[in-house]
Amino acid sequence: MFQYSARPDLLKDRIILVTGAGRGIGEAAAKAYAAHGATVLLLGKTEENLNRVYDEIEAAGGPQPAVIPLNLETALPHQYDELAAMIEREFGRLDGLLHNAGIVGPRTPIQQLSGENFMRVMQVNVNAAFMLTSTLLPLLKLSDGASVVFTSSSVGRKARAYWGAYAVSKFATEGLMQVLADELDGTGNVRSNSVNPGATRTDMRAKAYPGENPQVNPLPAEIMPVYLYLMGPDSGSVNGQALDAQ
C-alpha cells in the first residue's frame, strides 16, 4: 500500500471536483477530501447516489459539498462550459480535479468488440476527461497549487488480451496525463499525474472478475493515501508521474 499519512487539515479551503463521486473509489475519495477540509464538488450521473454522499459528508462534519449531476457519456460541449461558469461563479477557482468516472465495457476479443461499445468506453474514459480538463484548466490555473489526477489501470501500462476498449482507454488516459504534465512543466501552479488503484472492492471490479472473492481486495477507503498525497501540497513538485495505490 502507498505509504503516506495526511495531516487533518491537508486540504483546508481547497475546492476539489471528483467525477464518479456517487460510489466506489470516487465516493471514498470525496469523503477523504472532505474529511481533510476540502469543499468537494460531487459529479456523477446518478443524483440519488450523489445526494447520499452529500448527506454523509455533511453528517461527518465536512464542508458543505456541491452536487453536480452530469452523464459523461452524453454530455455536450455547452454543458462543460456551463459547469465551468458555475464553478467560477460559486467558488472562483478550482484546486483539484480527480478523474475517477469510468466504465469497463465488454471484456472480449478485439474481433468481437463492436464499434459502438468501443466508442462508448472511449467517450466516458477519455473524451470526457479531455473535455473536463481543457474546460476547467483556466480555473485550475487560478489556484495557488492545483492537481489533476487521472485514474489509470495496470492494463493501461501493460495491455492484456480481452481487455479491449478499457485497456486502450487507459493507455490514452496515461498519454493525456503525460501531454498535460509536459505542457504544464515549469509554467507554474498546476500538476498532472495518474493513479492505478489496483484490485479494489468495487462493483466495477466485481463485474470484471465475477469469479473472484471480493474479500481479498481492499476497500476503496483503504487505498486513499495516494489520492490524498497527490491532491495536497506535499506532492507540489510531483508532475507527470504514474503512481500505484497499492
Residues annotated catalytic, as ranges: 166
Residue with cell 471484456: 107
Q: Is 14 helix (H, G, I), strand (E, B) or coil?
A: coil
What are the backbone angles phi and psi of residue 192, rounded to the nearest 5°? -140, 125
Residue 237 in grid coordinates? 513538485
> Using DSSP, how many helices (H) and how many strands (E) does the chain show?
8, 7
Q: Which of 89, 34, 28 is nearest to 65 (CA)?
A: 34
Q: Which of 232, 235, 223 is nearest to 38 (CA)?
A: 232
Residue 29 in grid coordinates? 475519495
Cβ atoms within 10 Å of 82's Cβ, excluding its own = 13
Q: Which of 80, 85, 99, 218 is nearest to 147 (CA)?
A: 99
Q: Which of 100, 96, 116 is nearest to 108 (CA)?
A: 116
